[in-house]
Amino acid sequence: MILLLKILLLIFTFSFDISISLETYNGQCPHRSQMKTRASWVCGSNPLENYSCLYGTNGSVESCTDKSDYAAPGKRYVVKDNPHPENCPNYRYQPYKLWSNRSSDCEFIKSECGELGQIMCGIGTTIKDVTCRCDHTRGYAFLTTPRNVSLCEPTAEDCSCFLKICDKNFILAS
């Protein structure tokens, strides 16, 4: 009788664990920190080389493949009928190739140029972040002079602005 209770408890625990796992990843790809565990569960041997979870037109699709492929910079993998690369959305960028078995999101979110005195002067591309400048028409100047004196790359340098007080009879031109 005790043996039967232990077996039932083991079966119940196993069922409960599986239902949590399926529920957790229902419709979403796992976070990078959980990818290895999920890959082992879905693919078995050589999980990280074979596992992929890509977002598709109807949610996410998990699969185990024989060979990984990559999307060129500025692109990401999505699934419609088959996995294929497409451009990053306007608010993200991808500066290097992206392996299909790692992610279907472009890695970086574009900067907003939203700090005090900053304005956007370039919208960026699928492979580059936006560029910012200080609004000199409102009296703002760069705290640290960037490589290009008229604009700044927020992912590569400090784009902080400050309110510059000009001497009497002078205005801030740039």
* Tens digit of each residue's pLDDT (9 = 90 or more) over 1-52: 555 444 444 444 433 333 222 333 456 778 778 878 888 887 776 666 777 7
pTM: 0.61
3-class SS at 12? Answer: helix
Is 120 exposed, middle or buried (CB count within 10 Å of its CB: 0-12, 13-18, 19+)? middle
Answer yes or no: is pLDDT of 63 > 90.
Answer: no
With beta carbons less than 8 A apart as the criterion, state whether 97 and 70 touch. Answer: yes
Closest to 102 measured CA to CA, from 43, 170, 173, 30: 30
Confidence of residue 78 (pLDDT cuts 50, 70, 90): confident
Read off the pLDDT of each residue in 82-90 and give the average, rounded to a whole number. 81
pLDDT of residue 81: 61
In this predicted model, which residue has the larger pLDDT, 163 or 65?
163
Mean pLDDT of 168-173: 73
- Distant-in-sequence, close-in-space partners of 53: CB < 8 Å, separation ≥ 6: 29, 30, 35, 38, 60, 61, 62, 63, 104
Residue 89 in tokens: 């959305």
Domain residue spans in the chain? 2-109, 118-163
Q: Is 117 helix (H, G, I), strand (E, B) or coil?
A: coil
Close Cβ partners of 118 (under 8 Å, ≥ 6 residues apart): 132, 133, 134, 135, 140, 159, 161
